[in-house]
Amino acid sequence: MVAAIGIDLGTTRTCVCVWQNDLGVAVIPNDEGNRFTPSCVSFTDSECLVGDIAMRNITRNPHNTVFNVKRLLGYKFSDPSLQIDVAQLPFHVFERDSEPRIRVQDRGMTRVFSPEEILSLILAKVKEVAGLYLGGVVTSAIIAVPAHFNHAQRQAIKRAGTIAGLHVRIISETSACAIAYNLNNRSPMERNVVIFDLGGGSLDVSLLSIEGGVADVKATASCPHLGGEDFDARLVDHFATEFQRRHREDISGDARALLRLRAHCERAKRALSSSSRTTLEIDCLSRDGVDFVAPLTRHWQRFEALCEDLFQAALEPRAPREGPPRRAARQGACARDRVSRRVHAHPPRLKRASSPASSAAGGRQLHRALNPDEAVACGAAVHAAIVDVAGNTATASSASESESERMRDLLLLDCAPFALGVEGAGGVMVRALIARNARIPTRRSMAFTAHTDDQPGVFVRVYEDDGARTRETENHLLGCFVLDGIRPAPRGVPRIEVTFDFDSDNNLVVSVTDKGSGKEKRMSADAEEYYREPARRVAAKKRLEEYASGVRAVVKELEGALDDTDMWLAGAQKALREEYTQRHQGLEASASTAIEKLSALADANAEECSGARIVDETYLRSWQIARA
């Protein structure tokens, strides 16, 4: 069995590493020999292309080439941040069940993909290449994700891995970088290290305390929509406007031209990381074949002015809008002058972009012994070897005794990226169960009670937030479920215990126990069926009760008409023919009315069963819980 691999699944490109014998960590090159694979998928009339070949196809087939899809994960389609990203994408993103979906033409057919299905194609490609490199079938991987990823986004990454045929465990990118740093920079003295991760799609900053082989994550702060792609977008907008000013031609509606311009802007940005000046040269940028040339320098003031709000979002020295570096230092209770090392994961290509990290680290110089482009994938591979995902002996047996011992000495103590709690009475989130930046794994319990008299059950809604909000409507719903069968009692009497189990792999299990009856319900936070199925059962029971009550009322009315007829017949032995006929017509009318009412009840019940009104949400939401 081959070793588990570590994957840095980036917004713009993906890197794969593996722990190998005495060699330590090795980067697995892709099928073209490159150390990085573009996170890009292109659909053509004959095949599906992934990686470098897909990126080369992007300008020829812009509407069917999908990239930057990681920024669509875990968001509702109506989210303003997602709408900003969608507006810049040339392929078609639309709404289905409130989620973003991608429509492309694949081999002559219209196909719809979810963001995680696109990511699964990328993961399947790197899995195949890694298998050829290692000489076997890769089945397990550690995938590094941005530290700010919420539960839904992490579960989406796991689903993508499952579709690709991988057993996936998750680690934060900054934590993976810390492992890579600690592998070769171990010291018995405690050190505070700032990990600054400005990737293609987001900015994450983590503060760690490292002593020996133990890396303790103290705090994490993020800007979810601030990455290299945002700086590229500013360059593209500027040069598109400059092209229009020079040549009186608008290319803003030309997807092919904009993608070519974006590729050259990114290339120029990378060039400026190692040289003081470069030139943007694009042949035949417009449909009319007009060339475009523009010089750029590292200290180009116009660029800094264009991106000033992005730089400020990363830095922001004052609360409540302080940037991630300062926020991480404050939440980790660490003064800047106590930071001994600054490490980059996904290095900023521009000097100004690294100033927030330098500021948070008290001006400490960057640690340069670690390749920042490969640090995250390297740390993920080391973590894969430590946890031995591929099996108990797959990694340890292949490593030498000294190397294996060096790995086993490494320990990562991670923290919860979000506060976790439940909705209490009045729609207020009870955050005290698991606080933001709490050490994980952890288990926390809290006592609640029924909010109203004779409440037949409790409706539990589980939320996560960044610690700055209190109304449940502002937070992210992880899931909800119902615990019914509680014994009728006055409000405040029932004892309901809510327990959160949060493991080191960011899996959350919530259990609710009625202490009076001992009845318990457990829910994995990504399984809404735990809520929907009990809710459907409660709704089905309610439908049956309502239908039986309705039928009983109709039958009672008809029985009344029959009793009246029997009594009249008993005392009307010599009644006239017309009187008998009149009574018959009256009873017939009563029976006809009863049949109509029964038919109406049956139609209403069929409508509910078909899904028109499956769950009485208002009724279930009335089963609120309150702090005991």
Catalytic residue annotation: 8, 70, 173, 197
> Encoding tokens for residue 204?
């994450």
Query: What span, in angstroms and rounded, lies between the C-alpha atoms of 581 and 598?
Result: 26
Asked if omega into 80 is within 30° of 0 (cis), the reply is: no
Question: How far is residue 234's CA from residue 268's CA, in Å, rounded to a whole number?
Answer: 13
Beta strand ranges found along 155-288 (DSSP E): 167-172, 191-198, 203-211, 214-223, 277-282
**Residue pointed to by tokens 């482009």:** 373
Q: Which two tokens stand for residue 591?
A: 């029976």
- Interatomic CA distance for residues 236 and 260, integer angstroms: 10
What is the maximum span of the chain, computed from C-alpha positions, in angstroms? 119
- CB-based contacts of 493, cutoff 8 Å, min separation 6: 449, 450
Burial category of 238 from C-beta neighbours within 10 Å (exposed 0-12, middle 13-18, buried 19 and up): middle
Show the CA angle centred on residue 253, arms to residues 249 and 256, nearest 5°: 95
Angle at 479 between CA 475 and CA 484, to 5 degrees: 125
Burial 393-407 (b: 16+ CB within 10 A, else e): ebbbebbeeebbebb
Edge-to-edge strands, sheet with 429-434: 429-434, 419-423, 457-465, 476-484
C-alpha to C-alpha distance for 297 and 529, rounded to whole angstroms: 56
Sheet strands (E) in 424-475? 429-434, 442-450, 457-465
Indicate the residue type of 186: R
566 Cβ neighbours under 8 A, 6+ residues apart = none
Please state, in angstroms and rounded to a whole number, the distance separating the CA atoms of residues 408 and 400.
12
And the tokens for 536? 């459907």
CB 382 within 8 A of CB 410: yes
What residues have CB less than 8 Å from 182, skipping those under 6 apart? 210, 213, 215, 410
**Angle (CA) 419 420 423, round 5°:** 120
Task: Give dist(CA 54, CA 364) in Å, integer.
Answer: 40
Beta strands of 30-129 (E only): which ranges? Answer: 37-38, 40-43, 48-50, 65-67, 92-96, 99-106, 109-113
d(C-alpha 137, C-alpha 115), whole Å: 25
Which residues are CB-neighbours of 415 under 8 A, at least 6 positions away? 217, 218, 219, 220, 437, 438, 439, 440
Q: How many CA atoms lie within 13 A of 157 on its CB side?
A: 26
**Which structure tokens are listed for 63?**
């509407």
